[in-house]
A and B are shown apart, each in its own frame.
Chain A
Amino acid sequence: MERRRFLEVAGAAGIGVAAGCAPSSGERLLPYVNESDDLIPGIPEFYASTCRECPAGCGILVKTREARAIKVEGNPLHPIGHGKLCARGQAALQGLYDPDRLKQPYRHTARGMEPVTWDEAIQQVATALGAAEASGADRVALVTGADSGVLDAFYDEWLAAFRSHRRLRYEAFAYEPLREASRLTFGVAAVPEFDFASAQYVLSFGADFLETWLSPVEYARQFAEAHRYRDGRMARFVAVEPRRGLTAFSADEWIAPKPGTEGLLALGIAAGVVRQGKAVLAGGEADRVRGFLARFTSRSVADATGVAEDVIDRVAREFAAAKPSLAVAGGVASQHRAATQTAAAVNLLNYVAGNVGRTVRFHAASPWDKVSRYRDAAAWVAAMNAGAVDVALVHGTNPAFTLPATAGFADAFRKVRLKVAFASHLDETAELCDLVLPDLTPLEQWSAVEPAAGVRSFVQPAMTPVFDGARQTADVLLAIAARAGKAVGKGATSARELVAAGMTPAALEQALQHGGAFVPAPAEPVRLVPDFARVTYQAPAFDGDGGPEALVLVAYPSASLFDGRGANKGWLQELPDVATKIAWQSWVEVHPDTARRLGVANGDVVTVTSPHGRVEAPVYVYPGVRRDVVAMPIGQGHTAYGRNARNRGVNPLALLGADATDVSGALAFCSTHVTLAKTGRTVPLATTEGSARQLGRGIARAVSLAGALRGEVEPGPEATLTDAERTAVAAAAASQRARANIGVYAKANPKWEMTVDLSRCTGCQACVTACYAENNLPVVGEQQTLRHRGMAWIRLERYYEGDTAGTDWQVRQIPMLCQQCENAPCEPVCPVYAAYHTPDGLNGQVYNRCVGTRYCANNCPYKVRYFNWWDYGRDGDPYFSFAEPLNWQLNPDVTVRTKGVMEKCTFCVQRIRYAQNDAKVRKRDLADGDITPACAQTCPAEAIVFGDAHDPGSWVSRLKEDARGYYALGMLNTKPGITYLERVIADGEA
């Protein structure tokens, strides 16, 4: 396979407007020396690999053009994700092409970072390792992220060659309470496999399974399958957490217990199930469980949790009646000192309801088994403090950022004689290291991981490394071992050979084509251990003053930035938080009543003080937190890690106590009281929020399950039009459309339309980032976001519905993108026909015609047209968005727009034209499903369906006939090409 660069056009790398045919421009065309076996310029190639942006390990296909990765999509053959991907997975490309990546090895000296050669670096490490080995056992530490499979085993072998077993697989979010609770209740220290798809009732105790929890893409896919409304059926979802986040936006009911009492509530519900005689238990076990749960009466639980008694009884009744149901726990935001007890209580709840073995399944091995606990990381810090570590090698993890400041990591780390970072980016940990060795990103690497039982998932390079100076860590470790005279890796000389070891070439090829080898893993039956009662509930302690006005800090993982590793990627920074709609910043969520009491409003900067530290951040007044809770997202507050992350926002981990752990040895992220004090300063919030209320416009509609079963829908304002009004607007529409037409309508044409099922959409925003990747959308930055000049062609709108004073209110979310109106307000106002109607039903936008009057955007009622205020694609512009090599990611099929041009969604018209041309040359007809816009392709919930509405058999044609279908702002008679299907809310007792 030769993959030399082709068509490297000197000067303009696909950006901007060209000067037409100008032979004097001096552009050069470089041919291949040897033709590639499989590369055809202009035709994309796909490489199956595995996403490594979080430990979940979704299967991906990397789309390459001319040997450059330009898009990441899910691998439909892969059992994790099934062809879907989240925003973080989509943004892996921005890690690959980050201009701030490490490009060569460096040595930290008193004078700063100095370049060294690889040979010098390898020699220095080998020498230090030799000395460390000579001075005793376990004096070398190798710290990686969650890892599994062949390279993980190699790391252990490599470390053992230097007489050390000090290996850490450090993850900030390691879900220790889940493992420990499984051990305490079932005798299996494993994270179970959850089956959301077949659950008829989902009860989540703080598990953000649609955001970051364990395997969010796969769970979102499964959850949507269960929770969507079809044929009069849907699962009910009740979210139990003190802060309502993205996951709980999909909930049919939100229950906000006192922080720390989730486990008690779970026991109360389990007791209710038993008391109502619905427990799936027999014999002595039933007696033991009944005896244990007897003391958790609804009254006592209601008193302690603040959840009404009748709610507890009702949830118990519903949970037991649904066969099967599913309860989950263990989200990071609710990881307090009683987190293991909460998870154990939820295990018991699942057990009494008969879910264990059905929706909760255990396997002999789980990928989380070997992930280190926070306690192990703390022990490593103590060992370094004690001078027991001579050489520390850190790879693929950033403890300097994700350990709480009070853990004293930096000071302990400095005591290590030689600290080596194997990192693709200069993060906080790498900044502390003596040697910084540039690593390849996962899109350039070889590996094989085991993200779930029975899944051997391969990681293969989709392209040659972006920077020649970077090397894969396993390759470097092999070189170091060779220099030190150690024989490791069973004769392998590279990571590729390690991965391929023991496989025939044919088997390897097969695995690489499919993304891996997948065999169904049998579930192991488990029983309740006899002494399950030893994990009983106890109220967790919170550091700090717990007076009547005390506020509990909930530090929650950002859905886009995860544990902070997403913060260097512009696409993720610009992705607004779903709840607050804030991008690029940190904030403190405060309940409206609490804000009133404290006298603070949106944007007021407050000092958040805990017994362990203080940070300053602006307030966002949010009804989705309890009055006694303030919430802050984890992920910002980097002091290094590239231009997008550095010196941006604050890190709430600075407020946590390093000794706050639960019995599993997990860090208690929710363990401290804080006080808020006004600083008197106010900063503008970079929010994309417009109105938080729909104000009768009927944009995002929902109907109750009972209503849907009766065939009812939520009417919109168009229902108030009289017949005369209807006739008049229809006539005006027809004449307006006639004037706007310049397309060829004589022949039969397809009509491209879309449906968005709001009963599936979870608001995860994977579509938004996929659109950035596909359509060359610029990242405009915080300043332009503050001026509402973001360029996201598709955005998630969030509205509150109901009285937000209590917990009985709903969130309405709707993806808003160009509606491709048949009677489009934008078209007739364009003086130059840049906005026009295509024969196949799109609102075409011809960038080279556009003169930038912005009349179209003014006239668009959906506000989905975006103006280029700056030359985001021109080097030298103050808001240049594609600094080399970020421009390598640009989709060659899509024009990069220039300053003064209006742009918008066109249903990925480049994909439509590609498929149409491809079908023509192959002499076949397009089939339904041949064309998938980037948003629909990645949607984990499969909420978005695209197709030809003129084909009565197409999926989209059938869906748009659904009784729940409506047009957003339909009363304007725009005749949109997008039909939204009303969300169905399973409120009330089913």
Chain B
Amino acid sequence: MKRSSYMIAGGVLLCSAAALAGVSLVKGQGAERRAPADTTFSALPRSSGVGFSSLDGVRPGGDWPRLPGRLKGPAQPIFYRHDVHAGQYRIPCLYCHNNAANSWTVNLPSESTCMGCHIVTSAPDTAGNPNAEIAKLRDFYAKSASIPWVRINKLPEYAHFPHMRHVAAGLACQTCHGNIQQMPRVFPVRDLSDMGWCTSCHMQRGVTRDCTACHF
């Protein structure tokens, strides 16, 4: 089976199963591609008494986090809400951004990953109207067109950041990317060209401060 098909099957599973407690939602990558599902989630505030079930409290159409009056961050081609997916539904970051665990670079999820759920889930609004944003996604997918997401975080090109090392070390994504799970629209929380931010952490933890660890 192709990886993309795994992704769709996994997504359908995610939507249909009532309780997936303890199951890693990161797709199998084999032992050598490490995918620790729990570490990146550790910084998320856990709602009371619901354990780690991803779909606890899902009530389509209602109870989504309220939108603030003014949204920070740039408008995106699709109003994808991290506060709903990562916040309310508690989907682990690595479910979509799975390469963070095994590569220097982090991937945007492919549209087939999105469609894994949204082939089933349409999240109509309270009035029962189909969700316009999901319709956009399905439209992009149907046309085999890439969604032109606006880039939020970018390291300077003279710095090379091994994401997989930081994931393996148990660092929460939120450390650098902020509380994404509370952001209806993602905005940068740190100036990633500020090397002091990197080195202060490296000094605290007693890990390398060699320039050529990142600069080459």
Interface residues of A (CB under 8 A from B): 2, 4, 6-7, 9, 12, 14-38, 40-43, 743-744, 836, 838-840, 842, 844, 846-849, 893-896, 906, 909-910, 913, 917, 920-922
Within 8 A of A (CB), among B76-120: 99, 102-113
Give the 10 A-B CB pairs with smallest separation, nearest first.
A20-B193, A42-B105, A42-B103, A30-B146, A32-B110, A35-B110, A31-B108, A27-B151, A42-B104, A895-B158
Q: A30-B108, A35-B7 are in contact. List 14 more A-B contacts (CB 8 A).
A: A6-B107, A17-B157, A21-B152, A21-B191, A23-B187, A28-B151, A37-B2, A40-B103, A842-B212, A844-B212, A895-B157, A913-B212, A913-B213, A920-B168
Q: Is the CB of B151 within 8 A of A29?
A: yes
Can you identify 19 A-B contacts, CB atoms within 8 angstroms? Answer: A18-B154, A20-B192, A20-B194, A27-B150, A27-B154, A29-B148, A29-B150, A30-B108, A32-B111, A35-B7, A41-B103, A42-B103, A839-B210, A893-B160, A896-B157, A913-B213, A913-B216, A917-B162, A921-B165
In the assembly, what is the distance between CA of A858 and CA of B179, in Å?
49
A28 to B150, CA, bound (A): 5
CB distance from B119 to the nearest CB of A (A): 13
Contact B104 A917 (CB under 8 A): yes
A847: chain B residues within 8 A (beta carbon): 158, 215
Do residues A9 and B146 form an inter-chain contact, with CB atoms below 8 A?
no
Contact yes or no, B150 A42, CB < 8 A: no
Residues facing A in B175-216 (CB within 8 A) are: 187-188, 190-194, 208-213, 215-216
Complex CA–CA separation, A691 to B205 (angstroms): 52
Residues of B within 8 A of A22 (CB): 154
Given A6-B107, A906-B216, answer yes or no on A23-B152 (Cβ-Cβ < 8 Å).
Answer: yes
How far is A262 from B148 in the complex, measured between Cα atoms in Å? 68
**Complex-state Cα separation, A624 to B32, whole angstroms:** 56
Q: Are A20 and B191 in contact (CB under 8 A)?
A: yes
Return chain A residues, CB-CB under 8 Å to B103: 40-43
Nearest B residue to A844, CB-CB: B212
Q: Compute how far the CA of A25 lies from the CA of B147 in the bound complex, rounded to whole angstroms.
A: 17
The distance in angstroms between the C-alpha atoms of A586 and B194, with both chains bound, is 50
Residues of chain A within 8 A (CB-CB) of B210 are: 743-744, 838-840, 844
For the complex, give the distance between the alpha carbons of A779 and B211 in Å. Answer: 27
| B16 CB contacts on chain A under 8 angstroms | none
Which residues of the partner chain A approach B160 to less than 8 Å between Cβ atoms?
893, 910, 913
A17-B158, A23-B151 known; A921 and B168 CB under 8 Å? yes
Chain B's nearest CB lies how many Å from the CB of A34?
5
**How far does the Cβ of B45 sit from chain A's closest Cβ, in whole Å?**
25
Q: In whole Å, how far is A253's beta carbon from the nearest beta carbon of chain B? A: 45
Contacts A25-B151, A31-B111, A910-B216 given; does A838 touch B211 at CB 8 Å: yes
Residue of A nearest to B104 (CB): A42
A644 to B142, CA, bound (A): 44
Cβ–Cβ < 8 Å partners of B211 in chain A: 836, 838, 844, 846, 849
CB-based nearest A residue for B144: A33
Which of A9, A24, A913, A920 is packed against the most chain B CB atoms within 10 Å?
A913
- Decide if A846 touches B215 in the complex (CB within 8 Å): yes
Bound together, the chains give a CA A895 to CA B156 distance in angstroms of 10
User: In the bound complex, do residue A41 and residue B110 qualify as a contact, i.e. CB atoms below 8 Å apart?
Assistant: no
Which residue of B4, B106, B141, B146 is within 8 Å of A2 (Cβ)? B4
Give the dominant DSSP class at A's interface. Answer: loop
Of the residues B34, B73, B109, B158, contact of A31 by C-beta under 8 Å: B109
Q: Are B212 and A838 in contact (CB under 8 A)?
A: yes
**Could you tell me if A31 and B192 are in contact, using CB atoms closer than 8 angstroms?**
no
- B142 closest partner in A (C-beta): A33
Flag if A26 contacts B150 (CB, 8 Å): yes
- B4 partner residues in chain A, CB cutoff 8 A: 2, 34-37
B-chain residues with CB within 8 Å of residue A744 when the two chains form the complex = 208-210
Q: Which residues of A contact B152 (CB under 8 A)?
A: 21, 23
Closest to A10 in B: B148
The residue that B154 contacts in the complex, of A4, A20, A909, with Cβ under 8 A, is A20
Chain B residues in 8 Å Cβ range of A35: 3-4, 7, 110, 112-113
User: A895 to B2, alpha carbons, bound, how many Å?
Assistant: 34
Q: Does the CB pair A23–B150 fall under 8 Å? A: yes
Task: Note all chain A residues with C-beta closer than 8 A to B193.
Answer: 18-21
Known: A27-B150, A917-B165. A33 touches B145 (CB 8 A): yes
Chain B residues with CB below 8 A from A838, complex form: 210-212
Closest A residue to B1 by beta carbon equals: A37
User: B216 contacts which chain A residues (CB < 8 A)?
Assistant: 893-895, 906, 909-910, 913
Within 8 A of A (CB), among B129-181: 140-141, 144-160, 162-165, 168
The CA-CA distance from A38 to B164 in the complex, in Å, is: 18
B57 within 8 A of A: no
Closest A residue by C-beta to B157: A18
Neighbouring B residues of A41 by C-beta, 8 Å: 99, 103, 105-107
Query: CA A12 – CA B144 in complex, angstroms?
Result: 24
Residue from B111, B147, B162 having most chain A Cβ neighbours under 10 A:
B162
Interface string of B62-77 (1 = CB under 8 A from A): 0000000000011000
A820, chain B: closest CB distance, angstroms: 12
- Given the known inter-chain contacts A846-B212, A848-B158, A909-B212, please indicate yes or no for A29 contacting B102, CB distance below 8 A: no
Chain A residues near B153 (CB-CB < 8 A): 21
From B32, B34, B105, residue with most partner A Cβ within 10 Å: B105
- List of A residues within 8 angstroms of B99 by Cβ: 40-42
Looking at the assembled complex, report how far the CB atom of A910 sits from the nearest CB atom of chain B, in whole angstroms. 5
A836-B211 Cα distance, complex, nearest whole Å:
9
B101 CB, nearest partner CB in chain A, Å: 8
Give Cα A398 to B191, complex, Å. Answer: 55
**A37 contacts which chain B residues (CB < 8 A)?**
2-4
> Could you say which of A21, A42, A844, A848 contacts B188, with CB atoms under 8 Å apart?
A21
> Closest CB of chain B to A883's CB: distance in Å?
19
Complex: how many Å from CA A15 to CA B99? 24
Q: Among B105, B110, B158, B164, point to the contact of A34 (Cβ < 8 A).
A: B110
The complex places the Cα of A22 from the Cα of B140 at a distance, in Å, of 26
- In the bound assembly, the distance between CA atoms of A894 and B214 in angstroms comes to 10
CB–CB B190/A21 < 8 A: yes
User: CB-defined interface of B38-70 with A at 8 Å, one 1/0 digit per residue?
Assistant: 000000000000000000000000000000000
Q: Closest residue to B108 on the A side, CB-wise? A: A31
Do residues B150 and A33 form an inter-chain contact, with CB atoms below 8 A? Answer: no
Cα–Cα, bound, A852→B145 (Å)? 44
Which residues of A have CB within 8 Å of B165?
A: 917, 920-921
B178 to chain A, nearest CB (A): 11
User: Taking the nearest CB of chain A, how far is it from the CB of B37, in angstroms?
Assistant: 16
B212 contacts A34, C-beta separation under 8 Å: no
- A22–B150 Cα distance when bound, in Å, is 11
B residues less than 8 Å from A21 (CB atoms): 152-154, 188, 190-193
- What separation, in Å, do the CA atoms of A333 and B111 have in the docked complex? 59
Query: Which of A20, A27, A744 has the most C-beta atoms of chain B within 10 angstroms of its own C-beta?
Result: A20
Task: Please name all residues of chain B whose beta carbon is closer than 8 Å to the beta carbon of A849 when the two chains form the complex.
Answer: 211, 215
CA–CA, A20 and B160, complex, Å: 13
Tell me, in angstroms, the Cα distance from A26 to B74 when the chains sit together: 9
Q: By the criterion CB–CB under 8 Å, are B157 and A14 in contact?
A: yes
The complex places the Cα of A453 from the Cα of B211 at a distance, in Å, of 51
Taking the nearest CB of chain B, how far is it from the CB of A874, in angstroms? 13
With a CB–CB cut-off of 8 A, which chain B residues contact A893? 160, 216
- When distances are taken between beta carbons in the complex, the residues of chain B under 8 Å from A33 are 110-112, 140-141, 144-146
Cβ contact within 8 Å between A30 and B212: no
Instruction: Tell me, in angstroms, the Cα distance from A6 to B112 when the chains sit together.
Output: 14
Please give, as numbers and ranges, the residues of chain B lying within 8 Å of A842 by CB-CB distance: 212
Residues in B whose Cβ lies below 8 Å from that of A16: 157
Q: Which residues on the A side are within 8 Å of B212 (C-beta)?
A: 838, 842, 844, 846, 906, 909, 913
Give chain B residues whose Cβ lies under 8 Å from the Cβ of A15: 157
Residues of B within 8 Å of A839, CB to CB, are 208, 210
Chain A CB within 10 Å — which of B7, B148, B158 has the most?
B158
Q: Which residues of A contact B191 (CB under 8 A)?
A: 20-21
**Minimum CB distance partner of B160 in chain A:** A893
Name which residue of chain B comes closest to A924, CB basis.
Answer: B32
A721 CB, nearest partner CB in chain B, Å: 33
